[in-house]
Amino acid sequence: MLALPEVEVERLDAVRGIPVTAVQLCAMRDCGEEFDQPPRSGLFCVTWGAVLHLRSQLLAISWSEDSIGDPCRIGLVDPIEFLAIESLVAQDVSALPPWSRYIGCDLDSYEVLTYQSNYAREPSSTKWHAVPWGLLLHLGPHSLLAAAVDHENPLGGSPCADELVLAFSDFAIHRLSDVYEGERGEWSAG
């Protein structure tokens, strides 16, 4: 089962084969997030998410709540509503490395990365479902992993978080993917 809702799959499929024309990173107002220097780790944390401009279309990647209330997962949200969030500040990073390497690259394909969770209004140890924690975008010769993981400890925290971590180096993408492969998020009633 693909863990993304149909409307989000449709948003992705609508921009496949279209080149990226701009990249915006979206911070929380008054938090002091600046995107001018890429970290050596290949991992970049951002409060709200990212918006890829693919010609005239926008793909907004953030965290979201799923239909059964699992509080935080990767989500492809409505870009107009997303950019209208009062506390959101979008910064165009299209000319800055490493984001500039995605400009002109087509979105060739994508992979949805999931973990198993038993979250529900009434948690059960027998009912498990896939929760999308990451979205791996293949953009020409490059890849970009957007992940809803613990921003303070992305390589050892929880795969369920309300901030976004972007992995832009091959090493960071593989390392982050390896950490959460086969992960299970177990919730208990009480």
Q: What is the pLDDT of residues 39-92, one digit of tens each?
A: 778 888 888 899 999 999 999 999 887 666 665 688 999 999 999 999 999 999
pLDDT band at 120 (very low <50, low <70, confident <90, very high): low
Look at 8 and 183; give whichever has higher pLDDT. 8
CA distances from 58 to 4, 22, 135 (A): 18, 9, 16
Residue 187's pLDDT is 60
Rounded mean pLDDT, 95-102: 95
Look at 190 and 157; give whichever has higher pLDDT. 157
Rounded mean pLDDT, 129-136: 87
Encoding tokens for residue 158?
């929880």
The per-residue DSSP string of 54-97 comes to ETTEEEEEEEE--TT--S-EEEEE-HHHHHT-TTEEEEE-TTST
**Burial (CB count within 10 angstroms: exposed 0-12, middle 13-18, buried 19+), residue 40:** exposed
Mean of pLDDT over the chain: 85
Q: Residue 158 above 90 pLDDT?
A: no
Q: Any idea where the domains of the chain sit in the sequence?
A: 6-30+41-185
Q: Residue 127 above 70 pLDDT?
A: yes
Specify the pTM: 0.89
CA 132/CA 145 separation, integer angstroms: 12
Q: Residue 185 above 70 pLDDT?
A: no
Rounded mean pLDDT, 91-100: 94
